[in-house]
Structure 1
Amino acid sequence: MFKVQCTSCRETHDNYVGVNRFETNEMSGSRGEANFVWRCKNCKRESSATIKAAPSAYEQGEPPKAQKLFEFDCRGLEFTEFKPEGEWLADGMESGTKFTGVDLTDGEWFDYDEKAGEEVSIKELNWQIKRA
C-alpha cells in the first residue's frame, strides 16, 4: 500500500492506496489504461501509475543492501510512503523451505524452519522510494 501525492498541487491522498499489476483502469479521454488511476480532490487533475515489470525478489546478502523491488511509470503523481500490507513469500536461505502468508506489517516476521531445524526471521526492514 502506498501514500500518493499529486505532483501538480502537492495534495496527498487521505488514505493508503493499493496497486495491482493484474488490474488495469481506464483513463478518461481515451488516453489508455494504467494499473492505478487517481483524480486529485484539490486540483482535479487525473494521474496514473503503471507497474513496469513484475516485482523482484529480495536477494539476501552480507551485509544487507538496498535493492529495487518495484518500478513504476508515474504520470502526475508520486508515491511518498510504502506500507507492506498483505501476504508475502519467503524462502529459507539454506534449506530452500517455502514460507507463505508472511506478514510484514509489524516490520518483522519470525517462524521455524523444520528442514533447517532453526528459527528464521525477517527484521529491521526499511523502505525507500526513489526516482529512477
Structure 2
Amino acid sequence: MLSLVLSAELTGVTDLRPTDTEDEPYYYTFKVQCTSCRETHPNWVSFNRFVTARNPGSRGEANFVWKCKLCQKTHSASIIAGPNTYEADEKRTGRKVIEIDCRGLEFTEFKADGEWEAKGVESSTSFTGIDLAEGEWYDYDEKAGDEVAIKEISWQVGRA
C-alpha cells in the first residue's frame, strides 16, 4: 500500500484537492519501478481512478496494469481511497491525497500535471483550474479583497 502525501503552505484558501470527477477525471502521473528487478520505466505513466483494465493472468481489474520490459512480469495498481482534501490549518503537516494498492510495482515520483481546486477561507470563493506543476500558485480573492496562494509544495510517495 502506497500513499501520495501533499505538504504545502496555504494562504487564504482551504480544501485543496485534485479536480477528480467521473466527467473530469484527474490523471495521477508517476514514475514507476518494478519491485522484482528494480527496473524503472523511462517515461512518466498516468492513470485515473475511474478506468480499470483487466489484469492478465488474474481475475481482477486494476486502474493501472504494467508489464516490465526487463523481467516480463505484469504488475498492477488501484486507487483505493481518496482524493482527500488538504485543509488550510494543516500547516504543512502532510496529508494523504490518495492511497494506492500496488502489486509488484512502486511509484517513486509524482508529477502534478492536472487541475486542482480550492475555496477561499474567508469568502468560500471557488478557485478552479489551479495548476501546481510549477510548485506554487497565486491568485486574488475578490470577495475577501486579499491575495491567496499555495506555496512550498512537496510531494511524497511512500508506504501507507
TM normalised by structure 1 equals 0.95
1:61 alignment partner, SS class: helix
Amino acid in the other structure paired with 1:38: W
- Of Structure 1 and Structure 2, which has the larger fraction of its residues in strand? 2
Task: Look up the equivalent residue of 2:89 and give its one-letter code.
Answer: G
What pairs up with 1:1-132 in 2 under 5 angstroms?
1-61=29-89, 63-132=91-160
Q: Deviations over 1:41-94 (max 9, x none)?
A: 100100000000231011112632111111000000000001101111111122
Shift of 1:121: 0.7
Distance 1:63 1:131 in 2: 22
Shift in Å at residue 130 of structure 1?
Answer: 1.4
Counterpart Cα distance in 2 of 1:4 and 1:34: 15
Unpaired segments of 5 or more residues in structure 1? Answer: none
* Percent of pairs with identical residues: 64
Q: Residues of 2 paired with 1:62 and 1:34: CA distance? A: 32
Cα distance change on mapping 1:63 and 1:29 into 2, 3 Å: closer
How many residues end up aligned between the 2 structures?
132
**2:95 alignment partner, SS class:** coil
Q: 1:80-129 CA deviation, whole Å, 9 max, x = no partner?
A: 00110111111112211111100000000111111111111100100111
Of 89-98 and 69-78, more deviation after overlay is shown by 89-98
Deviating 4+ runs (over 2 angstroms): none
Please report the TM-score for the alignment, with normalisation by the length of structure 2: 0.79
Unaligned runs of 5+ in 2: 1-28
